[in-house]
Amino acid sequence: MSFDRVGARLEAAIEEARRSGTDPDVLAALNSSCDMFKRRDAFTLKATSEHSKTLAKISHETYTHDWQWEHDQGNIPRVFYPRMTSGRLEGQFLKSLVSMQRAKRILEVGLFMGNGALSMAEALPADGEIVSLETCERLKNLVEEMTKSSHHAKKIRVELGPAIETAKKLVKAGEKFDIIFLDGDKKDYSTLAKMAFDDNLLSEGGTLLVDNAFFLGAAYMPSDDSHLAQGLLDALDSCKAPLHRVMVPMNDGVLMVRRMADVETDTA
């Protein structure tokens, strides 16, 4: 099953129904719904372009790496999980957007194993650049090691440190980005989204992409983190320029935000 909260809940319901000896017809109906989810996910991936060789290597390493060992060695601040990766579907989606936007400069918040960064780098021109903000130095080293066989890796510049502090430095230095992809600490989202538009970290005509915009379901189900989702929408509503938003229900949700003036160009 994909990274879909509704699907995960359905699987749990089936397990519960099985344990409690539910009517076989009800169980069959539940199983059939779950099967539909799985087939849809499988078809979605079948219809989506394959990874490049290096992205396939990243994917394999993400799922087989001994994260517990890395943590026990003190190399990483907490045990990471493979599902933190944006994966093939979202990676190819990002790559497509980079090409449609004809982006040259991209800011990513949260590198992890570099799936998003390399997917986007593959669609950048030779003089394009991705600045990826990451707190964990071990991840930077792992990504450098895994991507050295790809000529696109030279376009990825990793800046170590907490995202908001680094973003402030980028604003001060007058750096601008055609695409900003937020995929780090969810608590930083509102601040970074405001910086994108109000501090013009996002260039004219640029696109802000916010990953995990469903906040693992907290955006639409009552949860301790529900305020984070509402906070993000409030922050966007309070930006100086009117914005256009579209919620793409892929994985844990990707919110796409652009200045309204770049979307509705015919104002006559």
Ligand X SMILES: C[S@@+](CC[C@H](N)C(=O)[O-])C[C@H]1O[C@@H](n2cnc3c(N)ncnc32)[C@H](O)[C@@H]1O
Which of residues 137 and 204 has its CB atom nearest to ligand X in the complex? 137
CB 243 within 8 A of CB 197: yes
Contact residue for ligand X among 8, 34, 84, 171 (CB under 6 A): 84
Residues 192-221, interacting with ligand X (CB under 6 A): none
How many residues of this chain interact with ligand X, rule: CB under 6 A?
21
Instruction: Write down the least CB distance from residue 2 to ligand X, Å.
Output: 15
Token output for 108 = 């990513």
Decide whether 10 or 170 has the Cβ nearer to ligand X.
170
Q: Which stretch binds ligand X (CB under 6 A): 13-21, 82-90, 121-129, 229-237?
A: 82-90
Question: Among residues 163 and 202, whose Cβ is nearest to ligand X?
Answer: 163
Interface with ligand X includes 7 (CB under 6 A)?
A: no
Closest to ligand X by CB, 76 vs 236, is: 76
Site for ligand X in 149-188 (CB under 6 A): 162-163, 183-185, 188
For helices 226-237 and 189-198, angle between their N-to-C axes, nearest 10 degrees: 10
x-marked contacts with ligand X along 107-146 as a string, rule CB under 6 A: -xxxxx--xx----------------xxxx--x-------
Nearer to ligand X, 3 or 197 (CB): 3
Closer residue to ligand X in complex, CB, 119/128: 119
Question: CA 218 to CA 187: how far, in whole Å?
Answer: 13
Do you know the residue count of the chain? Answer: 268
Number of Cβ within 10 Å of residue 112's Cβ equals 24
Residue 191 or 200 with smaller CB distance to ligand X: 191
With CB under 6 A as the contact rule, the residue among 85, 147, 190, 251 that binds ligand X is 85
Cβ 29 to ligand X shortest distance, Å: 35
| Interaxial angle between packed helices 24-46 and 5-19, expressed in degrees from 0 to 180 and rounded to the nearest 10 | 150
Give residues with Cβ within 8 angstroms of 42, minimum separation 6. Answer: none
Q: Does 251 bind ligand X (CB under 6 A)?
A: no
User: Interacting stretch for ligand X, rule CB under 6 A, among 12-20, 49-57, 66-74, 105-113?
Assistant: 105-113
Which residues contact ligand X (rule: CB under 6 A)? 84-86, 108-112, 115-116, 133-136, 139, 162-163, 183-185, 188
